[in-house]
Amino acid sequence: MSDSQASGVEKKQDKRFLAVLILGVIVIAALLGVIIVLLLGRGNPTTTEVVREVVVRESAEPERRAVVINEDNIEEAAKEILNNPPTPLGYYEVSMNFTWNFPDGSSPSSDAYVENVPSNTSDVYFDVVLEADESVTLYASPILPPGTHNNEVKLTQDLDAGTYPCIIIYHLVDDQQRTTGTLRMNMDIIVEN
C-alpha cells in the first residue's frame, strides 16, 4: 500500500472516529435533555426534613384558599404571622422530651410531653412501640391538632422496672384522619419500680 493510500485510509478512519464521537455527544445530550424534562415534569417533589435522622414523607395537600386581608384585620393577621409563622408543607416540627419516666408500670408518667406546635400544618397522633418488637404498642395517643399537647401518658402494659428503648411513630393526618406522612424517632421509657 502506498503512502497516499495509507493516508486516505487514515483520513477515513479519522472521519469515522469523528462521526462516532459527534454521534455519542448527541446521544448523551439527548439523554440529559430527557432526564431534565422528566425531572421538571414531576412538579415539586415531596419535601423532606430530616429530624434526628428520620425522614418525614407527606403527600399532596388539598387546595387551600387565601384569606382576604383588609384594613379591618391587617394588624391581627400580621401579628399572627409574626408570632406563629407556619411550618412549611412537608415539614413537621417536633416538640417532645425523649425520655419518659414512670414511677411504676401502671402509673402515669411524671414527665412525658408531646406537643403539636401551633406552626405545624397537620393534625397528628402517635404510637409508642418497643424498639425490640414493634408489634408491642405501649401507648396510643389521641389526635393532637396544631397548638395542643399531651402530657397525660399512661402505658397500656404494666412493665417491670427497667429502661425500654422505644420508637415513637408520628402519623400526620388530613381532615378525614387519613395518614399523609409518618415520622419515626427513638426514645426511652424508664420504669422506676
Cα dist from 15 to 7, 8, 19, 28, 65, whole Å: 12, 11, 6, 20, 62
pLDDT of residue 71: 81
Grid coordinates in use for 32?
A: 440529559
CATH code at 50-191: 2.60.40.2550
Burial class (CB in 10 A: 0-12, 13-18, 19+), 136: middle
Query: How many CB atoms are located within 10 Å of the residue 15 CB?
Result: 10
Q: What is the pTM of this model?
A: 0.56
Task: Supply 193's cell numbers.
Answer: 419500680
Domain ranges of the chain: 1-43, 50-191
Q: What is the C-alpha to C-alpha distance for residues 128 and 167, in angstroms, rounded to an integer?
A: 6
Per-residue pLDDT of the chain (193 residues; tens, 9 = 90+): 666 666 666 777 777 777 777 877 787 776 666 666 556 554 443 333 334 333 444 444 455 566 677 788 788 877 776 676 565 666 789 999 999 999 999 999 999 999 999 989 899 999 999 999 999 999 999 999 999 999 999 999 999 999 999 999 999 998 899 998 899 999 999 999 9
Q: Which three cell numbers stand for residue 154?
A: 399512661
Output the pLDDT for position 36: 64
